[in-house]
């Protein structure tokens, strides 16, 4: 992987006796969305806090935007933006005042600060609400203001810690489209989420954090392939063809009523080809073929199950 924007090797963190991160490795290329997925208490926020310099790691070789977190945290801070579950928005002042405060913190001139604030408020559909105290904003508006404030410093890397937790479906979709726009603009996004759908929608790569370790990492499709349950389904209209196929593919389970066969499959091209080749040699043609991969829910529950899963593959297919 060329020149990752965020890289962690052997990242460790414990609180007292509790090992939160037990030596994890992460490599996130520039301009991509990475989702760290895990159940409550898995250590997602801890990972974000460490990589965004808010908390120090116990061990690990950590780089963000080419800067070493241990020796050059200031340079890392200058390159990143962070919006956490605990928003930086001050409810007592207006949306615009919150923005101008950020502009001051970034040492923008008064004029430049006003320009940037107005532009971002407009972009996040907050212009009409700009002169109202932020405490009157809805949850979705507060999150939008929070991201707008993060963007004042024009960061190339953004950490979003559970950006849509607690939002209604419409606000969640708005947030997703904001995140997609950021990526189109070339920003690298590191997000944490408990929502499988969110990781599936947004992330180029997903890592599942469980018991302090990365239980699996890959694209949504790669992750879906590593849990059992994937299969190919063949449907026939001719009962004779159905019976011949059932004999040829002896690992298949059949449904005599619907003339459908289900063959366990990892969904790879190689596996699909071998099944089709076997059918071809006997001259059987199915009327319908569908490939079923497990969804991300299956993966999540399999990987974050309390008891170890027998025969669980250690690596994803690449």
Binding of residue 20 to ligand ADP (CB under 6 A): yes
Site string for ligand ADP, 45-84 (x = CB under 6 A): xx--------------------------------------
3-state secondary structure (DSSP) of residue 27: strand
Which of 182, 229, 199, 211 has the alpha carbon at shortest distance from 19?
Answer: 211
Question: Of 41, 66, 239, 313, which lies in the binding site for ligand ADP, with binding defined by CB under 6 A?
Answer: 41
Cβ closest to ligand ADP, residue 212 vs residue 254: 212
44 near ligand ADP (CB under 6 A): yes
Beta-ladder partners of 28: 6
Neighbours of 85 (CB within 10 A): 14
Q: Does 43 bind ligand ADP (CB under 6 A)?
A: yes
Among 4, 38, 84, 155, binds ligand ADP (CB under 6 A): 38
User: Where do runs of H (alpha helix) occur along the chain?
Assistant: 44-51, 73-79, 95-105, 110-123, 139-151, 169-184, 196-202, 220-225, 239-248, 269-281, 296-303
Secondary element (H or E) of residue 60: strand 59-64
Q: Is 42 in the site for ligand ADP (CB under 6 A)?
A: yes
Give the C-alpha separation, 6 to 2, whole Å: 11
Contact between 15 and ligand ADP by CB under 6 A: the answer reads yes
Q: Which is nearer to ligand ADP, 268 or 301 (CB)?
A: 301
Site for ligand ADP in 216-245 (CB under 6 A): none
Give the nearer residue to ligand ADP in terms of CB position, either 41 or 166.
41
Residues that bind ligand ADP (CB under 6 A): 15, 18, 20, 38, 40-46
């Amino acid at each position: 992987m060329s020149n990752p924007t965020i890289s962690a090797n052997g990242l460790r963190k414990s609180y007292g006796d509790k090992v939160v991160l037990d030596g994890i490795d992460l490599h996130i290329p520039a301009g991509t969305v990475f989702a760290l997925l895990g159940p409550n208490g898995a250590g997602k926020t801890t990972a974000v806090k460490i990589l965004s310099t808010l908390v120090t790691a116990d061990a690990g070789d950590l780089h963000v935007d080419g800067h070493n977190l241990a020796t050059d945290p200031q340079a890392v801070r200058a390159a990143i933006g962070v919006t956490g579950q605990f928003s930086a928005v001050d409810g007592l002042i207006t949306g615009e005042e919150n923005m101008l405060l950020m502009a001051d913190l970034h040492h923008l001139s008064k004029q430049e600060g006003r320009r940037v604030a107005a532009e971002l408020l407009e972009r996040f559909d907050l212009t009409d609400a700009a002169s109202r105290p932020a405490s009157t904003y809805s949850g979705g508006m507060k999150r939008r203001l929070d991201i707008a404030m993060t963007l004042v410093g024009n960061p190339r890397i953004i950490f979003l810690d559970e950006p849509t937790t607690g939002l209604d479906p419409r606000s969640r979709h708005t947030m997703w489209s904001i995140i997609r726009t950021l990526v189109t603009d070339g920003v690298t996004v590191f997000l944490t989420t408990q929502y499988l759908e969110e990781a599936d929608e947004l992330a180029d790569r997903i890592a599942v954090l469980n018991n302090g370790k990365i239980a699996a990492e890959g694209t949504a499709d790669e992750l879906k392939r590593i849990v059992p349950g994937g299969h190919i389904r063949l449907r026939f209209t001719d009962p004779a063809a159905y019976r011949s196929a059932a004999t040829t593919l002896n690992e298949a389970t059949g449904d005599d009523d619907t003339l459908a066969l289900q063959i366990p499959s990892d969904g790879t091209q190689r596996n699909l080809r071998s099944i089709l080749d076997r059918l071809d040699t006997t001259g059987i043609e199915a009327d319908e073929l569908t490939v079923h991969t497990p969804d991300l829910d299956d993966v999540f529950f399999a990987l974050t199950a309390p008891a170890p899963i027998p025969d669980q593959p250690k690596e994803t297919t690449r």
